Amino acid sequence: MRKPIIAGNWKMNKTAAECRELITALAPKVKDATCDVVVCVPFTDIALAAELTKNTNIAVGAQNIAWADSGAFTGEISAAMLIEAGAEYVIIGHSERRQYFGETDESVNKRLTQALKNGLKPILCVGEMLAEREGGLTEKVCRTQVVGAFDKISASDAEKVVIAYEPVWAIGTGKTATDEQANETIGFIRSVVKELYGAKVADGMRIQYGGSMNAKNVAGLMAQSEIDGGLIGGASLKADDFSIIVGAAK
Ligand code: 13P
């Protein structure tokens, strides 16, 4: 049995004051959750979020991590900095990083390696663009991204990773993959993990769906056999919506 994991990806939203407001409202609403609950906040909110979630069942995550320990990497943030601030999880390879900031399978692999080396729990994002889905390339793209991300990563490290399948065309568009589409592609991703690491790692690996997941469509998605939770953007910015999603992930 895989324990579902619901993670909010706040993206570039919420100042510290807004972070305080949201977490203060959210914590009592999700306190009885039976899934893992994570909020992946902007770097400047991590320490505050960690403070506010102390003695709650909410874990804090970041949205990126540098592949190096320290040094001349302007604009990057190190594992030690994230851990000191109170991050437990880190999103790696989000499609927005791939699209707008030049992230590649190779850089994703380096960041994933660094997160694992430092004991941060990675949420690895993969997913196809609209043209790729329409061109029948969904499985090819997901396979390439998964194989690339896990290059030279051991099975004992791989099993600590959560994968988020996020079809790019469903992100922020209000257009969700159908329950069946999401389930099918996540099942495919699990089969790639099985090829790489065997059945035990594949069966234990939690694979989330992400892309316009909300309070209305969460039940249908979570009812699918392969879907172990969600990575939620827009709907994670409101305590009511996010807590409904958390409540639906049993
Ligand atoms: P939305 O839920 O806003 O579509 O964003 C999904 C996402 O990108 C989460 O990482």
pLDDT digit string (tens) for 16-72? 999 999 999 999 999 999 999 999 999 999 999 999 999 999 999 999 999 999 999
For residue 50, count other CB atoms closer than 10 A to its CB: 19
Q: What is the mean pLDDT of the chain?
A: 97
pLDDT at 229 over 90: yes
pLDDT at 1 over 90: no
User: Residue 72 Cα, ligand 1 centroid: separation in angstroms?
Assistant: 31
pLDDT band at 176 (very low <50, low <70, confident <90, very high): confident
pLDDT digit string (tens) for 178-216? 999 999 999 999 999 999 999 999 999 999 999 999 999
pLDDT band at 86 (very low <50, low <70, confident <90, very high): very high
Q: Does the predicted model carry a pTM greater than 0.85?
A: yes
User: Residue 143 Cα, ligand 1 centroid: separation in angstroms?
Assistant: 21
Best of 231, 237, 245 to mutate for ligand 1, by most ligand atoms within 8 A of CB?
231
Segment 217-245 mean pLDDT: 98
Start-end of H helices in the chain: 16-29, 46-52, 79-85, 95-100, 105-117, 130-134, 138-149, 155-158, 179-197, 199-204, 218-222, 239-248
**C-alpha–C-alpha distance, residues 208 and 165, integer Å:** 6
**C-alpha–C-alpha distance, residues 32 and 102, integer Å:** 40
The CA-to-CA distance between both ends of the chain, in Å, stands at 11
Q: What is the DSSP letter of 108?
A: H
CB of 93 within 6 A of ligand 1: the answer is: no
For residue 181, count other CB atoms closer than 10 A to its CB: 15
